[in-house]
């Protein structure tokens, strides 16, 4: 098991993850660990760089944003690497967060379950 520390005084746990798309395309992004989000969310620009063609996705997921309910494309990443662990075939929503966000996307609960992640909020430890 691997352990990673986070600052318990900061209201958001921010991680850098590696996304792998079509072919050998890879991209690192900063995400907020979000236990309230079902799916991982990545920005449009990154999805396009990874060759995922979100505009062609036939599968759409309803998401609740500050401006109301929207439908966002669902794509499948070849893999993501989170806290040193690779997860294969990750479904991700493609949607941009507001420009002043501290992160590029969100790491949702489906990915957290795959990681078998334990969060100790008192000690500030993520355990994979």
The pLDDT profile of the chain, 128 residues, written as one tens digit per residue, is 789 999 999 999 999 999 999 888 999 999 999 999 999 999 999 999 999 999 999 999 999 887 889 999 999 999 999 999 999 999 999 999 998 899 999 999 998 888 888 999 999 999 99
pLDDT computed for residue 64 by the predictor: 86
Q: Which two tokens stand for residue 13?
A: 């746990």
User: φ and ψ at 39, to 5 degrees?
Assistant: -105, 160
Whole-model pTM over 0.75? yes
């Amino acid at each position: 098991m691997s352990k990673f520390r986070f600052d318990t005084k900061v209201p958001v746990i921010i991680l850098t993850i590696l996304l792998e798309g079509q072919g050998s395309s890879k991209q690192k992004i900063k995400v907020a660990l979000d236990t309230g989000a079902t799916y991982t969310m990545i920005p449009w620009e990154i999805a396009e760089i990874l060759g995922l063609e979100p505009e062609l996705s036939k599968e759409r997921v309803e998401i609740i944003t500050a401006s109301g309910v929207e439908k966002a494309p669902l794509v499948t990443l070849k893999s993501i690497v989170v806290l040193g662990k690779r997860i294969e075939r990750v479904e991700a929503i493609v949607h941009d967060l507001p420009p002043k966000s501290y992160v590029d996307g969100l790491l949702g609960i489906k990915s957290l379950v795959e990681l078998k992640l334990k969060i100790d909020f008192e000690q500030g430890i993520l355990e994979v």
